[in-house]
């Protein structure tokens, strides 16, 4: 349960925690580190599982290691001569906030403070250590509020007429020590223990308990850290950076963590201890200046930084202390870095021959790449948000608040920066979304209209920010105490979901050489193809630029939502007679053809999967309630004639088409079989566009996809419609335009009878959004705003199944679908086009199942390329 630091190593991280293993490894490679021992994470877990009761023999084991430690150093805790002083530091396997703060100078007591004063020849230093210890110990272990101590220091300084702590004399500090004891007794109702061993025992217990604080629990759940890892406790001999002008303490990185540049990066303070550097009480000096002040320690530090970076093959974040001219390292760990720095460090370390490409690829966090593709907030903004919603579409946007799409479009097109703030957006708002810097809604989840549209277009979006009070009539937005009116500037961060008052600084997207090069390495090792979901030529071009190898999903109905097309679509839906419908479709055909021409042009030489119409028809008509109200209003106003008649007719159609469960209603292939002429029109438009693009010397690769198939017979019939129409169109050309026909697998039944369905399919594309809804029986839009978050927080489900694929349920269906599909159609191409296609954990599963490709939104393409490479490397 306890290891001497010299017994540990980096491999023992699960047992010794990150800090303990890191320190042990430094000893192993000969870097100067203070002596000490580590109580293991397992001891912590055992204690916490037993309601805080320590496992048998733990204290005996700690005391045995302490005895040996005292023996080695020739010092004893609390001794009047040559006292041993230690720090007590928590250190979990993954570094996490909320754990117990470090206690410095444990071992100082009424006796040993005298010994320390004598030994150092500096009584002030000794008494300062003592009062710092009481302060930290009282606060951290005994729960005395921090201000109780700091108030006393302030009062004393006031009485002395001084402003700096350094002005306190030995007598002042002696007085403070006594006062602190009284303060602690007042708060805890008992004397602070005076025996350092008892203090140590309580400090270890406090570290254990900090693993189970609510704050730590919340952090672990938010970051997917298991509750049973536990934290280790490191007890280390104190070294003193506050011994005088030949002592110092500091932190440094082996490279610049924001740019990745290989240059000196760090800060130090002369005559200071531990937290003085981070606490911001005194302003630290740039590391380069240490060369003048402490030249020998400085040179040794640079040399050590280099050794540690080579040893770990990665950028390190280091804490050090110089004790009377001698350098000690107190911590080293992998340095946190921006995405830009991650790429540069990876590329440079490979170029320097420190690591190979594969290692470099495994080091980069795929999700982090998103940062680079959108303008983001300057990470050092230091501003607190007004509120927080869902981080629905990454990137940051700054602009004036506007409350409707027309205003957004008008002012946006005039070159003003605006943020569209709505309860929720609708297809009617698209022009406003396009012209805005970002979208903020008070309602709706990650798949709300605003979120989907914004993601597709690469606009930042914060959705479902429930604290917003929007008054469209009054043109005001209230968030808590803050009242804003139209025209006031706000900043939204779609990567975090935060909303800020005023304009924060943005940093531009950074597609650098590092980005291109490192992702190029990823392409060489991955097996999974990566395509994009894109509906327009512009999106397709963007996707291609980001490395997409085709389009995995083009949603044709998005083309129907356009303002000048919607009336034609409605006319088609409302048509009473076949020839009226045919006329409307004739008008739609060239419009769709133009869209497909753009897509095929942008993706020449690469496959383009076009899905035939999917949503229920009522989605193209006005809302039932609104239309009823309109009719009511017209009736009340006594408006008669054609206007009322039209409104009533439309209402009748809306009523006729409305369904109790539209998601499971007349949509997908069912709709297309009911109105084959719609699908025929789409196939003609596709074929004509392909021919036109081919005539221009380009290379269209057409894949036609039928949605929501559950029965093989549906696909057989639909394929018939498609092939007949295709033959009619391309017959003139000799029929040599390549095309394939496949289906989405988005119903459990489809996966289960995939062998029968595959007989009519050239490819399967798993629509894991709908497949998740239909498999787990959860409606995403309803659940994300209500019980789903509770489910995730309470650990009922391991993760939101719409963000990361449900491995055991949906994943199993995908596996079955692939196996059965290939059993009847060897060489069946298989892919995924749900949002899971851009999620690294899901990508790992899809790789393992053996899919051919994933398809995700254009901005997720780089993430998917890297994640696919990492899983390929991992499974080697």
* φ/ψ bin of 275: left (φ > 0), alpha (ψ from -120 to 50), beta (otherwise): alpha
Q: Considering the rule CB under 6 A, would residue 609 count as an interface residue with ligand ADP?
A: no
For residue 275, the partner it binds in Mg ion, ligand ADP, none, with Cβ less than 5 to 8 A by kind, is: ligand ADP
Residue closer to ligand ADP (CB basis): 237 or 800: 237
381 is an active site residue:
no
**Using rule CB under 6 A, residue 682 touches ligand ADP:** no
**Total of chain residues touching ligand ADP, rule CB under 6 A:** 15
**Cβ 99 to Mg ion, closest distance in Å?**
6
From the list ligand ADP, Mg ion, none, partner contacted by residue 407 (C-beta under 5 to 8 A by kind): none
Virtual torsion, Cα 449, 452, 455, 460, nearest 10 deg: 30
User: Whole-number minimum distance, CB 319 to ligand ADP, in Å?
Assistant: 4
Query: Cβ(596)–Cβ(689) under 8 Å?
Result: yes
Q: How far is the CB of 317 from Mg ion (least distance, A)?
A: 9
Quote the tokens at residue 303: 């040399």
- CB closer to Mg ion out of 68 and 278: 278
Is 321 near ligand ADP (CB under 6 A)? yes
Nearer to Mg ion, 138 or 710 (CB): 138
State the DSSP code for 405. Answer: H
Minimum Å gap between C-beta 775 and ligand ADP is 43
87 binds, among Mg ion, ligand ADP, none (CB under 5 to 8 A by kind): ligand ADP
Span 302-321, contacts to Mg ion by CB under 5 A: 319
Q: How far is the CB of 264 from ligand ADP (least distance, A)?
A: 19
For Mg ion, give the closer residue by CB, 33 or 867: 33
Cα end-to-end span (Å), the chain: 35
Binding part of the chain for ligand ADP, among 135-143, 230-238, 288-296, 515-523 by CB under 6 A, reads: 230-238
Extract the tokens encoding 61. Answer: 């084991």
Taking only Cα atoms into account, the Rg of the chain, rounded to an integer number of angstroms, comes to 33
Residues 124, 273: Cα–Cα separation, whole Å? 14
Distance of CA 160 to the CA centre of its chain: 51
In contact, 87 and 102? CB cutoff 8 Å: yes
Rank residues 87 and 725 by Cβ distance to ligand ADP and give the closer one: 87
- Provide the Cα torsion 730, 735, 736, 738; round to 10°: 60
Which of 319, 539 has the CB closer to Mg ion? 319
For residues 59 to 98, the per-residue mask of contacts with ligand ADP, x marking binding by CB under 6 A and - elsewhere, is ----------------------------x-x---------
Residues 95-134 that bind ligand ADP (CB under 6 A): 102, 104
Taking the complex as a whole, the smallest distance from the CB of residue 180 to ligand ADP amounts, in Å, to: 20
- C-alpha–C-alpha distance, residues 71 and 66, integer Å: 8
Q: Give the C-alpha distances (Å, rounded to integers) separating 631 from 263, 574, 649.
A: 71, 17, 10
- Residue from 300, 493, 312 nearest 389 by CA: 493
Enumerate residues 272-301 that contact ligand ADP by CB under 6 A: 274-275
- Residue 368: which residues within 8 A CB-CB, separation 6 or more? 338, 339, 342
Q: Which one among 18, 22, 34, 668 touches ligand ADP, defined by CB under 6 A? A: 34
- Of the candidate spans 179-187, 235-243, 257-265, 462-470, the one that interacts with ligand ADP by CB under 6 A turns out to be 235-243
Q: Is 833 a catalytic residue?
A: yes
Task: With contacts defined by CB under 6 A, name the span among 147-155, 232-240, 539-547, 755-763 that binds ligand ADP.
Answer: 232-240
* Nearest of 197, 273, 203 to residue 241 by alpha carbon: 273
Is 135 one of the binding residues for ligand ADP (CB under 6 A)? no
Whether the CB-CB separation of 489 and 383 falls below 8 Å is answered with no
Among 25, 139, 317, 319, binds ligand ADP (CB under 6 A): 319
Look up residue 710 and give its DSSP letter: -
Residue 438 touches which of ligand ADP, Mg ion, none (Cβ within 5-8 Å per kind): none
Q: Residue 503: which of 397, 613, 630 has the closest Cα?
A: 397
Q: Based on CB atoms, which residue is closest to ligand ADP, 23 or 173?
A: 23
Complex with ligand ADP: residue 321 or 773, whichever CB lies closer:
321
| Sequential DSSP letters for 693-761 | HHHTT---EEEEEE-S--SHHHHHHHHHHHHHHHHHHHGGGTS---EEEEEEE-SHHHHHTHHHHHTT-
Catalytic residue among 44, 833, 847, 856: 833
The listed partner (ligand ADP, Mg ion, none) that binds 136, CB under 5 to 8 Å by sort, is none
Q: How many residues bind Mg ion (CB under 5 A)?
A: 2
In whole angstroms, how close is the CB of 239 to ligand ADP at the nearest point? 4
Nearest Cα to Cα of residue 69 among 1, 2, 132, 141: 2
Of 758, 762, 746, 718, nearest in space to 836 by CA: 746
Q: Phi/psi of residue 204, each to 5°?
A: -65, -45
Contacting ligand ADP within 800-859 (CB under 6 A): none
CB 446 within 8 A of CB 463: yes
**Nearest CB to ligand ADP, comparing residues 103 and 551:** 103
Of 403, 56, 10, 40, the residue nearest 204 (C-alpha): 40
Distance between CA atoms of residues 562 and 706, nearest Å: 22
Q: How far is the CB of 92 from ligand ADP (least distance, A)?
A: 9
Of residues 324-383, which lie at the interface with Mg ion (CB under 5 A)?
331
Q: Which of 122, 331, 592, 627 binds ligand ADP (CB under 6 A)?
A: 331
Contact region with ligand ADP (CB under 6 A), list: 234-242, 289-297, 305-313, 523-531: 234-242
Handedness of CA 830, 836, 839, 844 (dihedral sign): negative
Query: Can you tell me the distance from the alpha carbon of 499 to that of 809, in angstroms, rounded to the nearest whole number?
Result: 36
Distances in Å between the Cα of 110 and the Cα atoms of 80, 136, 196, 686, 857 are 8, 17, 11, 88, 66
Q: Does 238 bind ligand ADP (CB under 6 A)?
A: yes
Distances (CA, A) of 166 to 125, 162, 263, 389: 10, 9, 33, 45
239 near ligand ADP, rule: CB under 6 A: yes
Set 449, 558, 653, 847: catalytic member: 449
Which residues contribute to the site for Mg ion (CB under 5 A)? 319, 331
Active site (catalytic) residues: 449, 833
Which residues contribute to the site for ligand ADP (CB under 6 A)? 34, 87, 89, 102, 104, 236-239, 274-275, 319, 321, 330-331
């Amino acid at each position: 349960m306890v290891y001497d630091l010299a017994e540990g190593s980096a491999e023992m991280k699960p047992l010794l925690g990150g800090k303990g293993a890191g320190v042990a490894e430094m000893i192993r490679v000969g870097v100067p580190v203070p002596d000490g021992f580590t109580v293991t994470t397992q001891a912590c877990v055992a204690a916490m599982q037993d309601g805080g009761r320590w496992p048998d023999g733990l204290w005996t084991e700690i005391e045995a290691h302490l005895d040996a430690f005292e023996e080695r150093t020739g010092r004893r805790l609390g001794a009047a001569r040559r006292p041993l002083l230690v720090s007590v530091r928590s250190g979990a396997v993954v570094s996490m906030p909320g754990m117990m703060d470090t206690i410095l100078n444990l071992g100082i007591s009424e006796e040993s403070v005298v010994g320390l004063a004598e030994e150092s020849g500096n009584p002030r230093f000794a008494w300062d250590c003592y009062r710092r210890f009481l302060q930290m110990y009282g606060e951290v272990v005994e729960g005395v509020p921090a201000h109780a101590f700091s108030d006393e220091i302030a009062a004393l300084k006031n009485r002395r007429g001084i402003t700096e702590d350094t002005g306190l004399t030995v007598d002042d500090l002696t007085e403070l020590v006594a006062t602190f004891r009284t303060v602690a007794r007042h708060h805890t109702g008992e004397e602070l223990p005076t025996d350092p061993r008892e203090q140590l025992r309580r400090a270890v217990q406090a570290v254990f308990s900090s693993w189970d604080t609510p704050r730590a629990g919340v952090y672990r759940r938010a970051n997917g850290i298991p509750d049973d890892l536990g934290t280790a406790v490191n007890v280390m001999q104190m070294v003193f950076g506050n011994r005088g002008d030949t002592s110092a303490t500091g932190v440094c990185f082996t490279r610049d963590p924001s740019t990745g540049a290989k240059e000196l990066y760090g800060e130090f303070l002369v005559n200071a201890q531990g937290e003085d550097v981070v606490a911001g009480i005194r302003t630290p000096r740039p590391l380069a200046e240490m060369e003048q002040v402490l030249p020998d320690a400085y040179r040794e530090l640079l040399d050590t930084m280099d050794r540690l970076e080579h040893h770990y093959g990665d950028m390190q974040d280091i804490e050090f202390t110089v004790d009377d001219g001698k350098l000690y390292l107190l911590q080293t760990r992998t340095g946190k870095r921006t995405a830009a720095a991650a790429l540069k460090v990876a590329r440079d370390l490979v170029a320097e021959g420190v690591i190979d490409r594969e290692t470099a690829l495994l080091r980069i966090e795929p999700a982090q790449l998103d940062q680079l593709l959108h303008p983001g907030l300057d990470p050092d903004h230091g501003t607190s948000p007004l509120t927080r919603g869902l981080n629905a579409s990454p990137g940051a946007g700054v602009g004036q608040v506007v409350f409707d799409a027309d205003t957004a479009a008008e002012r946006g097109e005039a070159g003003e920066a605006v943020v569209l703030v709505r309860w929720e957006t609708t297809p009617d708002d698209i022009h406003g979304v396009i012209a805005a810097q970002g979208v903020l809604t008070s309602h709706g989840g990650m798949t709300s209209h605003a979120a989907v549209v914004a993601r597709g277009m690469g606009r930042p979006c914060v959705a479902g920010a429930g604290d917003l009070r929007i008054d469209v009539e009054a043109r005001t937005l209230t968030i808590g105490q803050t009242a804003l009116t139209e025209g006031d500037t706000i900043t939204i961060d779609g990567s975090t979901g935060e909303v800020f008052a005023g304009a924060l600084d943005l940093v531009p997207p950074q597609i650098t050489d590092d980005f291109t090069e490192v992702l190029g390495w990823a392409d060489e090792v991955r097996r999974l193809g990566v395509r994009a979901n894109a509906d327009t030529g512009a999106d397709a071009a963007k996707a291609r630029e980001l490395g997409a190898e085709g389009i995995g999903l083009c949603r044709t109905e998005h083309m129907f939502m356009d303002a000048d097309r919607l009336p034609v679509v409605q006319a088609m839906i409302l048509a009473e007679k076949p020839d009226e419908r045919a006329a409307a479709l004739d008008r739609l055909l060239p419009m769709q053809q133009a869209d497909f021409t753009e897509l095929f042009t942008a993706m020449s030489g690469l496959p383009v999967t076009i899905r035939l119409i999917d949503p229920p028809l009522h989605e193209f008509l006005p809302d039932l309630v609104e239309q009823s109200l309109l009719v009511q209003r017209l009736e009340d106003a006594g408006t008669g004639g054609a206007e009322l008649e039209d409104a009533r007719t439309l209402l009748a159609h809306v009523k006729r088409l409305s369904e109790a469960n539209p998601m499971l209603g007349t949509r997908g292939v069912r709709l297309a079989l009911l109105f084959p002429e719609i699908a025929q029109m789409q196939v003609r438009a596709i074929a004509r566009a392909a021919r036109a693009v081919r005539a221009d010397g380009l290379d269209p690769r057409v894949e036609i996809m039928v949605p929501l198939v559950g029965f093989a017979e549906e696909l057989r019939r639909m394929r018939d419609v498609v092939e007949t129409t295709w033959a009619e169109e391309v017959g003139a050309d000799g029929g040599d335009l390549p095309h394939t026909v496949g289906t989405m697998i988005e119903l459990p039944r489809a996966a289960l009878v995939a062998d029968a369905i595959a007989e009519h399919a050239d490819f399967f594309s798993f629509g894991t959004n709908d497949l998740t809804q239909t498999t787990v029986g959860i409606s995403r839009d309803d659940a994300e705003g209500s019980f789903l978050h509770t489910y995730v927080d309470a650990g009922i489900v391991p993760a939101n199944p719409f963000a990361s694929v449900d491995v055991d349920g949906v994943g199993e269906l995908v596996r079955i679908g692939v196996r059965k599909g290939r059993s009847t159609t060897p060489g069946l191409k298989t892919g995924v086009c749900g949002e899971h296609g851009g999620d690294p954990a899901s990508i790992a599963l899809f790789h393992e199942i053996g899919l051919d490709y994933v398809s995700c939104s254009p901005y997720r393409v780089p993430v998917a390329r890297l994640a696919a490479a990492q899983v390929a490397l991992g499974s080697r």
